[in-house]
């Protein structure tokens, strides 16, 4: 496999905004809802290109979900977007009843997720959203790892027949996935092959895991890396294959350690192939203000934490 390298620094939210404009050109039924954070979540690009198909609902997330549901009933393809915490925390009941139970193809596009949103502090750091969304029947949950993958994911979501939650980020982050790589919901990307241990990461922790792998490789540890961009439906085959072939699992995510990606992976392993697992995640605590990279270190979700978790799980590995 060619070595993974960062070619640029670009925000996933920009990939989202640009993809929306492309979809807007492609399909006249695409509509976008705005909740007064349009410039931040980059729906400003769509608003400028297609003002008639941009629907402002004001700072009213519950109404945004309901309006999106109604647009879907009328045959439109609605993308509703705001910050992660306000996209799922405030309107949970609306999402549950009007989107999930009603199984309507609305896309909830949450930007500014995770602790890396940084200086805004804990109120704006959405660390529970994967858990909240993946527990809902009919809901798909996905999170891209870089700008390119965000674009592909947004394109792939257009014709998705069910409600979908897509989680991305504010920061400019390394762009490292292959532009030409195929994207499919529910199929994990094997980014690095390895035999001693598997790191299953999502979102920005994929890059942290790539950095960790370099360190571990230099110490003679062979790491497999899966980018688990879809948390629901989960690629169980890839997880079980990794468990059987490498015998040790580390999960890594910018999310609470309970019920997120790690929890989802643990559910599969417990039931089908019990395997030692370590969790790189925020440890059941709220965040605070700071820079994204400082917070990742302080809250234990940076590359060094992946390295530590790998060493720990290798000690627990059955020989």
Partner 1 sequence: MEHFDLPELQEMARQIRRDLMKMLMISKSGHSGGPLGLSDIFASLYFSILKIDPKNPTWPERDYFFLSAGHLCPVWYATLARRGFIPLKELSTLRKINGRLQGHPAPAYTHGVPGVEIASGALGQGLSIAVGCAIGLRLDKKPNRVYVLTGDGELDEGQIWEAMMTAGHHKVDNLIAIVDRNNCQIDNRTDKVMELEPLAEKWKSFNWHVLECNGNDIEQFLHTIKQAQELSGKPKVIIAHTFMGKGVSFMEDDYKWHGVPPNEEQGKQALSELAPTKYGDFIEFEWEKQPVEVGAK
**Total residues interacting with partner 1, rule: CB under 8 A:** 32
Q: Which residues ranging from 12 to 31 are in contact with partner 1 (CB under 8 A)?
A: 31
Binding to partner 1 by residue 78, rule CB under 8 A? Answer: yes
Which of 76, 124, 232, 257 forms a contact with partner 1 (CB under 8 A)? Answer: 76
Q: Which residues ranging from 38 to 67 are in contact with partner 1 (CB under 8 A)?
A: 52-53, 55-58, 60, 62-63, 65-67
Q: Which is nearer to partner 1, 94 or 256 (CB)?
A: 94
Q: Which residues ranging from 97 to 116 are in contact with partner 1 (CB under 8 A)?
A: 97-98, 101-104
189: β partners: 227
H/E element holding 142? strand 140-142
Total Cβ atoms within 10 A of residue 131: 19
Please give the C-alpha separations between residue 48 and each of 44, 53, 59, in angstroms, as whole numbers: 6, 10, 19
Q: Which is nearer to partner 1, 108 or 238 (CB)?
A: 108
Stretch that binds partner 1, among 11-19, 73-81, 146-154, 247-255 (CB under 8 A): 73-81
Provide, rounded to whole angstroms, the least separation between the CB of residue 61 and partner 1: 9
61 labelled catalytic: yes
Which of 2, 51, 75, 220 forms a contact with partner 1 (CB under 8 A)? Answer: 75
Residues 180, 186, 187, 189: is their CA dihedral positive or negative? positive
* Structural contact between residues 287 and 127, judged by C-beta atoms closer than 8 angstroms: yes
Residue 227 has phi, psi (to 5 degrees) of -90, 105
Residue 264 to residue 32: CA distance in whole angstroms:
30
Residue 239 to residue 160: CA distance in whole angstroms:
24
Q: Which is nearer to partner 1, 103 or 178 (CB)?
A: 103
Q: Which is nearer to partner 1, 35 or 194 (CB)?
A: 35
Q: Which of these is catalytic: 18, 26, 61, 288? A: 61
Do the bridges between strand 172-175 and strand 189-192 make them parallel or antiparallel, or are there none, so unpaired? Answer: unpaired
* Structural contact between residues 189 and 203, judged by C-beta atoms closer than 8 angstroms: no
Mapping DSSP to helix (H, G, I), strand (E, B) and coil, where does residue 163 land?
coil
Q: Which is nearer to partner 1, 57 or 210 (CB)?
A: 57
Interface residues with partner 1 (CB under 8 A) are: 31, 52-53, 55-58, 60, 62-63, 65-76, 78, 93-94, 96-98, 101-104
Catalytic residues: 61
């Amino acid at each position: 496999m060619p070595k993974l390298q960062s070619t640029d620094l670009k925000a996933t939210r920009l990939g989202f905004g640009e993809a929306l404009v492309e979809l807007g050109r492609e399909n006249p039924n695409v509509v976008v809802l705005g909740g007064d954070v349009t410039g931040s979540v980059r729906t400003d690009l769509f608003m400028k290109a297609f003002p008639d198909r941009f629907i402002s609902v004001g700072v009213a997330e519950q109404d945004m979900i309901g309006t999106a549901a109604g647009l879907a009933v009328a045959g439109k393809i609605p993308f509703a977007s705001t910050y992660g915490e306000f996209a799922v925390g405030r309107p949970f009941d609306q999402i549950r009843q009007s989107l999930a139970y009603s199984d309507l193809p609305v896309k909830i596009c949450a930007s500014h997720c995770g602790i890396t949103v940084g200086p805004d502090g804990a109120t704006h750091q959405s660390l529970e959203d994967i858990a909240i969304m993946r527990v809902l029947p009919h809901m798909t949950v996905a999170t891209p790892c870089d700008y390119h993958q965000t674009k592909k994911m947004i394109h792939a979501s257009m014709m998705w027949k069910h409600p979908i939650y897509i989680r991305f980020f504010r920061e400019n982050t390394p762009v490292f996935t292959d532009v030409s790589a195929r994207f499919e919901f529910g199929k994990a990307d094997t980014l690095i092959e390895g035999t001693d241990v598997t790191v299953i990461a999502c979102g920005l922790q994929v890059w942290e895991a790539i950095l960790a792998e370099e360190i571990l490789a230099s110490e003679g540890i062979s790491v497999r890396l899966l980018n688990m961009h879809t948390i629901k439906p989960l690629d169980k085959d890839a997880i079980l294959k990794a468990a059987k072939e490498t015998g040790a699992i580390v999960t890594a995510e910018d999310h609470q350690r309970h019920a997120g990606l790690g929890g989802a992976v643990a559910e599969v392993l417990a039931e089908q192939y019990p395997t030692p697992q370590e969790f790189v995640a925020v440890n059941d605590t709220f965040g605070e203000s700071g820079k994204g990279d400082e917070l990742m270190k302080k809250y234990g979700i940076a590359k060094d934490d992946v390295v530590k978790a790998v060493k720990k799980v290798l000690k627990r590995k059955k020989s």
